[in-house]
Amino acid sequence: MYSEKVMDHFNNPRNMGEIENPSGVGTVGNAKCGDIMRMYLDVDGAGVIRDVKFKTFGCGAAVATSSMATELVKGKTVEEALKVTNKAVMEALDGLPPVKVHCSLLAEEAIHAALWDYAKRQGIVIEGLKEPVADIDEIAEG
Ligand code: FES
């Protein structure tokens, strides 16, 4: 049911962990399955993502899509990272079962939330980036 690449990224997740003093961090969740994903970005002065890490409390597909998403945005500019869609993540993983498509969406949303936080901290606007629907931290803090 899962591709070899999904199983590989699930068993050996890339870039798992957190970044101290990140340039941006975003946390998203899916209310239905309860899974949570957090992305940390380290962006240099030229707007290039030097490092990215994730923490995911969720299903295997959520772990695999987080892992692949970090691989896809690493080394890219923030503008390029914005174009890494859940479709791109799924394609890079050789597909996901239909019931697991929302897991890849969580990865896209987590990247966007981290980029949003980065832009906010920098006081800049990233063309085409929309404010995350909900930030889990803000929900938790009320
Ligand atoms: Fe919800 Fe995978 S089942 S993120």
Place of tokens 């409390």: 57
Among candidate residues 5, 16, 30, 33, the one labeled active-site is 33
Of ligand 1's atoms, which has the minimum distance to the CA of residue 30? 1
Per-residue pLDDT of 58-97, as tens digits, reads: 999 999 999 999 999 999 999 999 999 999 999 999 999 9
Q: What is the pLDDT of residue 70?
A: 98
**29 Cβ closer than 6 Å to some ligand 1 atom:** no
pLDDT band at residue 114 using 50, 70 and 90 as cut-offs: very high
- Is 63 within 8 Å of 97 (Cβ atoms)? no
Please state, as a whole number, how many other Cβ atoms lie within 10 Å of the Cβ of residue 82. 19
Which tokens belong to 87?
A: 């479709």
CB-CB contact of 82 with 115 (8 Å): yes
* Number of other CB atoms surrounding residue 67 within 10 Å: 26
Tokens representing 142?
Answer: 């009320």
Summarised one tens digit per residue, pLDDT across range 5-35 is 999 999 999 999 999 999 999 999 999 999 9
Work out the average pLDDT over 33-47: 97
* DSSP 8-state code for residue 130: P
Q: What is the DSSP string of 13-51?
A: -TTBS--SS-SEEEEEE-TTT--EEEEEEEE-TTSBEEE
CA of 120 to the centre of ligand 1 (A): 28
Q: Please state whether 17 falls in left (phi above 0), alpha (psi between -120 and 50) or beta.
A: left
Mean pLDDT to the nearest integer, 38-51: 98
